[in-house]
Structure 1
Amino acid sequence: MIPQRVSLLTIGAYDLPSLRAFYQRLGWEEPATSSDNYASFLTAGVILSLFPIEELAKDAGITFNQDRNSYRPVTFAINVDEPSQVDKIMEQIREIGGTVLREPSDAFWGGRTAYFADPENNLWEVAWNPTAVFDERGGMISY
């Protein structure tokens, strides 16, 4: 049986030091192993890592044919405890140089949501879901 878990998400970075600095400005904690050659950030239940895109392609045995200015077909999400946190986080994203793609708004499914892009156009949703349940570490266990 394959374990039903996601433990590490890696973003292929075109300019790792710059992308790392953006996530540092979010205030996210890095372990001592982070550097401008490989960086990681501790989140609730999943580690987010940044790795040079050329090295990621080599490691996976593939070629990336991606325009660095286009959006990637993956979205990451930060789920929060209160609807007002969506608005506050988006203000912070704007202040640290993220690109707000969709202003906070009430969602058709009953929550509150907004979207931003990091400096390399990775898409992030910030969302409050009224039915979400988090564990003691902040990991989402149900929605």
Structure 2
Amino acid sequence: MVPERVSLITIGAINLPELRRFYQGLGWSETEISSDNYSVFKTAGVLLSLFPMEELIKDAGLDASVVPVQGFKGITLAINVDTPEQVDQVVEEVRSAGGKIIKEAGETFWGGRTADFLDPEGNAWEIAWNPTAVFDDRGAMVHF
């Protein structure tokens, strides 16, 4: 059986030092192995790493000519927060750090509150408050 867990998410970076500064600007803590060549941020549920795009493509055994390296990549990462008001607060912090807000905070049809942004390299993130979300002691979402 494949373990039911996601432990590390890696974003292929075009300009790793710039992308690293953005996530540092959000106030996120890095591990001691982080540098401008490879960076790992601590989050409640998984580690988020930044790795040079060319190296990531090579490590995966992919052909660089068919892998999109700019813009939306067909995946959205999410930051779930504890209150509806936190969505608005996080939007302003992201905006201050240089993120591009692509959908301002608003109510959803399912009873939550969300907003969306892009990091400096076009990686898509959602900021969400879900009234049914359940978090563990570390802050990782375990159910909704």
**Same fold (TM > 0.5):** yes
Deviations 1:91-126 (A, max 9, x none): 111111100000000000000000000000000000
Distance 2:10 2:83 in 1: 28
Distance 2:73 2:103 in 1: 16
Letter in 2 for 1:99: K
The offset of 1:67, in angstroms, is 5.0
- Specify the SS of the correspondent of 1:113: strand
| Cross-structure match for 1:43 | 43
Distance 2:129 2:33 in 1: 32
Letter in 2 for 1:4: E
1:109 aligns with 2:118: no
Distance 2:132 2:138 in 1: 17
The offset of 1:7, in angstroms, is 0.2
Deviations 1:53-90 (A, max 9, x none): 0000000010233252x211110000000000000100
Distance 2:77 2:122 in 1: 12
Contact 2:16 2:52 (C-alpha < 8 Å) held by counterparts: yes
| Cross-structure match for 1:53 | 53
Letter in 1 for 2:114: T
Letter in 1 for 2:124: L
Letter in 2 for 1:28: W
CA spacing shift, 1:67–1:32, aligned 2, 3 Å: closer
Contact 2:53 2:69 (C-alpha < 8 Å) held by counterparts: no
Most deviating of 57-66 and 46-55? 57-66
1:25 aligns with 2:51: no
Letter in 1 for 2:85: S
Contact 2:87 2:105 (C-alpha < 8 Å) held by counterparts: yes
How does the TM-score come out when normalised to structure 1? 0.97
**Equivalent residues, number:** 142
The offset of 1:130, in angstroms, is 0.1
| Cross-structure match for 1:92 | 93
| Cross-structure match for 1:132 | 133
Contact 2:14 2:69 (C-alpha < 8 Å) held by counterparts: no
Q: Which residues of structure 1 form unaligned runs of 5+? A: none
Q: CA RMSD in A?
A: 0.8
